[in-house]
């Protein structure tokens, strides 16, 4: 018998309104969040990409809910291969890094191991065949990380310059934006 969360995930459609509705239901029922995170990283679960969509929307409002799940999140991220799941995870990753360096009251605290996993995953997504949105989030995440780890910007610059002419206008726009900031 499907769980309460699985029933909600079955109703999710790709449109923003549908994703917002289900994410709001989970925000109002925090007890569903742990299961949501588990499903996100279960590639055998037929709705795991939808769970990732919802996780992204929840992260805009309650990123701090991920704090107890960070080790699980970072360790399992490389297992996700579905493009529909990777894009929202790349955005969540960017939000986590932004929060970590913001040092505000409800900031996320990433361990050194989490940061290394973040760097590794972002570079992997940048140099592999994934869609442009994932690459764009990875570029911006690596830029943020490079402000605190001095070897990242030179490596990022090499990759962006090398790959620039082979990508879409959207990729080029993000690459130009970040290259300008790096110089």
Summarised one tens digit per residue, pLDDT across range 86-136 is 999 999 999 999 999 997 788 999 999 999 999 999 999 999 989 999 999
Would you say domain 4-182 falls under CATH 1.25.10.10?
Answer: yes
* Calpha distance 31→155 (Å, rounded): 41
Q: Is the dihedral of CA 111, 134, 35, 54 positive or negative?
A: positive
What token pair was written down for 30? 């925090």
Summarised one tens digit per residue, pLDDT across range 127-179 is 998 999 999 999 999 999 999 999 999 999 999 999 888 888 988 999 999 99
For the chain, the domains span 4-182
pTM for the whole structure: 0.94
* Calpha distance 133→136 (Å, rounded): 5
């Amino acid at each position: 018998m499907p769980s309460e969360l699985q029933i909600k995930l079955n109703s999710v459609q790709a449109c923003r309104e549908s994703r917002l509705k289900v994410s709001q239901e989970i925000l109002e029922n925090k007890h569903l969040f742990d299961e949501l995170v588990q499903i996100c990283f279960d590639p055998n679960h037929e709705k795991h990409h939808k769970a990732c969509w919802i996780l992204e929307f929840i992260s805009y409002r309650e990123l701090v809910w991920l704090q107890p799940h960070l080790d699980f999140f970072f360790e399992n991220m490389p297992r996700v291969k579905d493009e529909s799941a990777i894009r929202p995870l790349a955005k969540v990753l960017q939000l986590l890094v932004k929060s970590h360096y913001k040092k505000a009251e409800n900031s996320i605290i990433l361990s050194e191991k989490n940061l290394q996993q973040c760097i590794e995953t972002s570079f992997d997504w940048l140099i592999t065949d994934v869609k442009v949105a994932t690459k764009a989030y990875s570029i911006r995440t690596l830029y943020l990380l490079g402000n605190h780890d001095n070897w990242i910007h030179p490596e990022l610059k090499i990759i962006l310059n090398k790959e620039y002419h082979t990508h879409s206008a959207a990729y080029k726009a993000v690459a130009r934006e970040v290259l300008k900031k790096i110089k």
